[in-house]
């Protein structure tokens, strides 16, 4: 269990440190090239799920946040049960990554609206503003900043529906928590035979 705790803590610290730094030093929509034209720090926020997907409206946001809380409880139970059953290190790492990512994003949803002022194209957000934060508990926005437009081109003019339009791969802007969840899930899929065969 110690290994799992360390994985979760390290990811949470990295995720939250980067998010808070971006939130308080970048204007909304601001980009900074890190490596050439294919890796940027690009500050955006989303009110929904990973990679900018949404569940509309105030009630949708609340429902999503509550679902996340239940999901975290379920993932924690899965991790604890797997450790007790003597699951292999690979499975523990996968579940720990998913748990860390889920906690990282619920922190934003639960608390960022309370502790930060609104970010905008003209104003930097401040932490613990005098007038209070920009949203209530469980209604905060998730901070995203990792952007990898590896390929930027155009669809051919004769291409159905999207002919002549811009094409960017990879378009979504995400964060460390999203990366942890995705990595954990992909590892479970790729190594499922080894992971679940070794599970007692």
Catalytic residues: 144, 178
Question: CA 147 from chain center: how many Å?
Answer: 12
Cβ contact 145:42 at 8 Å? yes
Q: Quick check: 11 and 104 in contact, CB under 8 A? A: yes
Instruction: Return left, alpha or beta for 73; rule: phi > 0 is left, psi -120 to 50 is alpha, else beta.
Output: alpha
Query: Which single residue is written with the structure tokens 């949803």?
Result: 109
Bridge partners (DSSP) listed for residue 45: 143
């Amino acid at each position: 269990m110690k290994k799992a705790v360390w994985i979760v803590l390290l990811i949470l610290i990295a995720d939250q440190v980067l998010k808070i730094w971006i939130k308080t030093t970048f204007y909304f929509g601001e980009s900074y090239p890190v490596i050439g034209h294919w890796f940027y720090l690009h500050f955006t926020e989303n009110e929904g799920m990973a990679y900018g997907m949404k569940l509309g409206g105030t009630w949708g946001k609340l429902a999503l946040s509550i679902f996340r809380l239940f999901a975290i409880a379920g993932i924690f139970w899965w991790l604890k049960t797997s450790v007790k059953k003597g699951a292999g290190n690979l499975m523990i790492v996968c579940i720990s990554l998913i748990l860390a990512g889920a906690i990282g994003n619920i922190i934003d949803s639960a608390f960022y609206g309370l502790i930060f002022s609104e970010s905008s194209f003209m104003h930097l957000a401040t932490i613990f503003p005098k007038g209070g934060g920009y949203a209530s508990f469980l209604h905060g926005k998730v901070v995203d900043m990792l952007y990898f437009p590896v390929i930027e081109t155009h669809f051919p003019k004769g291409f159905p529906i999207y002919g002549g339009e811009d094409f960017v791969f990879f378009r979504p802007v995400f964060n460390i928590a999203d990366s942890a969840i995705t990595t954990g899930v992909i590892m479970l899929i790729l190594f499922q035979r080894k992971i679940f065969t070794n599970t007692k």
